[in-house]
Every structure is written in C-alpha cells, then in structure tokens.
Amino acid sequence: MLTTSGPAPVEVWRWTLEPGEEYPSHPHQTGVVETVSVTAGQMVLVVESTEHAVEAGQTATFNGDAPHTYRGSGTETCHLIMTVHIPPGPGSAA
C-alpha cells in the first residue's frame, strides 16, 4: 500500500482475489471515494447489496461510505489496483 500525505490523502492498494474469495468492508467516513481497476481476471463489487461485475480492463468508482464487498469471480486470480480517496479533515487547506 502507498499513501500520500497532505490535506486529502490517497491510499493505493494492489490486491489479488481468488475465485470465490470475499473481502467485506465496513462503510468508511462520509466523503471517501474508492476506485477499483481490474488488471487481470474478474471480480464482483457489491455496493449496498447491488452486484457489479468488473473485468480486466474495467474500472469502477463508488462512494466508500456505503457497505461494500470485493469478491473474486471466474476461474483465474483477479488482480486489481484500488485507490481510496480520503476527504480533507476539518481545518485542512485543500
């Protein structure tokens, strides 16, 4: 994981998900935006109980303040890059 500093930090994650593997995430603070880019394989992104298929070469962006789950799908390992954009805190100069 890489993290930038400053008033609006961004986390950058490189992940793999095996077929059928799930990673549920609790809602983040209001204003967090996540972007998931699949570089190989496929996955299902579940946001507020709605499933979205994301395949190699596709990107999904969603508000991270909702319940969400990442699930590997298909027959191959899913490789993805995820960014988490964290809003500036109170009193930050954006």
The Cα–Cα gap between 40 and 22 comes to: 17
How much is the average pLDDT of 66-92?
A: 89
Write out the chain in H/E/C secondary structure: CEECCCCCCEEEEEEEECCCCEEEECCCCCCCEEEEEEEECEEEEEECCEEEEEECCCEEEEECCCCEEEEEECCCCEEEEEEEECCCCCCCCC
How much is the average pLDDT of 18-38?
A: 95
- Total-model pTM: 0.84
How much is the average pLDDT of 60-84?
A: 96
Mean pLDDT, the chain, whole residue set: 90
pLDDT for 91: 52
pLDDT for 87: 87
How much is the average pLDDT of 8-13?
A: 86
Residue 18 has pLDDT above 90, yes or no: yes
CB-based contact 43:54 (threshold 8 Å): yes
Give percent of the chain with pLDDT exceeding 90.
78
Residue 1 has pLDDT above 60, yes or no: no
